[in-house]
Structures are given as C-alpha cells and as structure tokens.
Amino acid sequence: DADVTQTPRNRITKTGKRIMLECSQTKGHDRMYWYRQDPGLGLRLIYYSFDVKDINKGEISDGYSVSRQAQAKFSLSLESAIPNQTALYFCATSDFPSGDTQYFGPGTRLTVL
C-alpha cells in the first residue's frame, strides 16, 4: 500500500461548488503539505502543517482552507471553486528529524468548469 494516499484521484466540478481533497499517510511523519502544479510553473505551496495544532499559509493560500484532523490526515478545501483552480494537487509529508525530505502522494487532478 502507498505511504501517502490522496482521494479523489480525479474530480470534475462546477464553478461555485465546495470541494474537499483528502490526504492520508502511513509514514508517521509530523509534517504535511499541499501543493498545486500548473503547467510551466512547477509546484507551488498552498498550506503546510508541522503538527496537528500548527497550520501555515504558503505562497498561494487565497481561495483555499485546510484541516489537520490527525497526524495522518490533512484535507484541503476549496470553499467556492473557480476555473483557475483547475490544476494537479499534491499532498506531501516529511519527517524533520530525518532531514525533512518531502514524499508526495499520487496527486489529484481537479477540473473546475
């Protein structure tokens, strides 16, 4: 089984709808992250969490919110989806004491019509 899982893997939705993307990990890492990938722009950080009680905004947090329900779960919400949020979304985890390499989930492809 994969160490970092994301659900759903693909989602098509309409403008104005609320969407939640979920991430779970079995790696036992404290740190979790959400990124979005757009063609030609690499990955950009949306939110990150160093532990269950810690939430931080990243580079592009506007229009998004997150919830860290447990050490192993980190959800990303789009309260009112808009077409320019169409992108590939990645969750990642890292273990600071071990050097903080980030390991990524398989990604969620989101299309907002």
Partner 1 sequence: AQKVTQAQTEISVVEKEDVTLDCVYETRDTTYYLFWYKQPPSGELVFLIRRNSFDEQNEISGRYSWNFQKSTSSFNFTITASQVVDSAVYFCALSEAQDSWGKLQFGAGTQVVVTP
Token pair recorded at residue 56: 């931080």
| Residues found near partner 1 in the complex (CB under 8 A) | 31, 33, 35, 40-45, 48, 50, 56, 58-59, 88, 90, 92, 94, 96, 99-104, 106-107, 109
Q: Which is nearer to partner 1, 74 or 90 (CB)?
A: 90
Contact between residue 19 and residue 36 where contact means Cβ atoms under 8 Å apart: no
Pairwise CA distance, residues 12 & 19, whole Å: 10
Identify each DSSP E strand in 3-64 by its residue range. Answer: 4-7, 10-13, 19-25, 31-38, 42-51, 54-57
30 near 71, Cβ under 8 Å? yes
Nearer to partner 1, 15 or 56 (CB): 56
Closer Cβ to partner 1, 72 or 88, answer by number: 88
Nearer to partner 1, 28 or 96 (CB): 96
